[in-house]
Amino acid sequence: MTKDKFEYRKDTAFINREKELDYLRGFINERPESILFIHGPKSSGKTTLLYKFLAQLEKEQKLDIKFLNLRKKLIANYRDFIRIFFGIDYGPSKGDIKETREYGIFNFFKLSAAVLKGMESGALDPFEIMKREFVKLNKKGVKPVLIIDELQAIDHVYMNNGEKRHVIIELFNFFVAMTKESHLAHIIIASSDGYFLNTVYNDSRLKKTSKFYKVDYLQEGDVMEWLLNLEKHSKIKDYALTREEAGKIWDTVGGSMWEIQDILSELFAEPLEPVLELYKRKMRGIIDFYIGLNPGRKQVLKAFVENDSLGLKDFASLGIEVGALEELLREMVKNNILYFDPTDAVYYPQSKSYRWGIDIYFETLKEK
């Protein structure tokens, strides 16, 4: 991790995640026995937590830790999967000169270009090659740690060897072999897609070989500590909030770190009250646009006006056919309107700001 050489008016805050860091450290300090799935709502701070964890571990232990964030990766097919996971360069060769380039898997291994081409064509199994390299690292006394953020980005990709083998299923089989069976590497998967993790959670084999850990939004006390000490936590030297103002921000967006930082940026140019009112109206607009003329969406979201969270059975009174209801809920989760908690099997608005949007939308309908 390199230190930022630039000075900014506001820095990204990292607030009181000691409990989460201790949990991750404890997981790494045990012999590899299971895959760890980290889940939580969007903007709850999962990725920031993992980066902080990496920075601490690099100073503490003899580990080979690599973090692959798939959030901004375009993975349309198996070729893209190999390119991103194994670092293949698809650029043109230099004339007739035979090059001896080597590329790295998460920078763990150095493999020849011939091996990489074999994997791309499907002639070589990438999982067998990774297993071989993990064995080499262990023999050298190096503990490999694989951390992948938003793994669901490859949920639609299949192997390129003439068989209809789902890449993500093969990956999970490999991860189980590397943890529970061979104890060769630690595997950590993070995702904000509750449905994707629910599929994992309900898979009998994976359920017995996996741990699930939720990273939620910040608690009110942590948010107040942050907002009342902006210079300490965000390097903001020319702006301060009163306790009442900090409470209004909490009331608007709760403990969503990204949204709090977004609001703080606006306060350099505008007073707090207009910023928060505009934010609420924006959320109401998002809900209005999302519902549109769709009565099903409207019915489902209205159920949250008087409920913090709902299970699938709680929607039965809406009278929506089961298959249509399940598809509707899946779409709402995919579009980050609702969050689905795979461990409790409940749905709730993605954040406190979305709850404001829902409440204001239906309140406005009453006034018309």
pLDDT for 353: 95
Query: Using N-to-C axis directions, what is the helix angle for 113-121 and 126-139, rounded to 10°?
Result: 140
Round the CA-based radius of gyration of the chain to a whole number and report it. 23
Gap between the Cα atoms of 335 and 97, Å rounded: 49
**Phi, psi for residue 216 in degrees, rounded to 5:** -100, 180
Half-sphere exposure of 137 (CA within 13 A, CB side): 25
* Long-range contacts at 58-62 (CB < 8 A, ≥ 24 apart): 58/1, 61/28, 61/143, 62/141, 62/142, 62/143
The answer to whether the beta carbons of residues 10 and 186 sit under 8 Å apart is: no
Return the CATH class of domain 271-367: mainly alpha
Distances in Å between the alpha carbon of 303 and those of 279, 284, 315, 363? Answer: 23, 16, 8, 13
CATH 3.40.50.620 at 18-85+123-214, yes or no? no
d(Cα 307, Cα 347) in Å, to the nearest integer? 10
Per-residue pLDDT, 136:
86
> For the chain, which residues make up each domain, given as ranges?
18-85+123-214, 271-367
DSSP per position, 109-152? EEEEHHHHHHHHHTSS-HHHHHHHHHHHHHHTT-EEEEEEE-GG
Q: Bridge partners of 68?
A: 148
Picking from 240, 250, 260, 253, the residue whose alpha carbon sits closest to that of residue 220 is: 250
The residue assigned the tokens 């939004």 is 217
Q: Could you give the angle at which helices 243-253 and 352-367 cross, rounded to 10 degrees?
A: 80
CA distances from 104 to 108, 142, 153, 193, 241 (A): 6, 16, 21, 28, 48
Helix (H, G, I), strand (E, B) or coil at 37: strand
Which whole-number Å values give the CA distances from 195 to 46, 242, 291, 338, 358, in the listed order? 17, 40, 21, 11, 22
* Amino acid at residue number 361: Y
What averages of pLDDT result for each successive group of 10 residues across the chain (368 residues)? 56 86 93 92 89 82 77 77 65 42 50 69 75 86 87 80 70 89 92 79 76 93 95 89 97 94 90 95 96 94 94 89 91 91 90 95 84
- State how far the Cα of 328 lies from the Cα of 297, in Å rounded to an integer: 7
The pTM of this model reads 0.82
* Token couple for 5: 């050489």
Contact by Cβ (8 Å): 270, 324: no
Alpha carbon distance 364, 368 (integer Å): 7
Q: Let me know: does 171 contact 206? Beta carbons within 8 Å.
A: no
Using DSSP's 3-state secondary structure scheme, residue 310 falls into strand
Structure tokens belonging to residue 76: 């349309």
pLDDT, position 153: 83
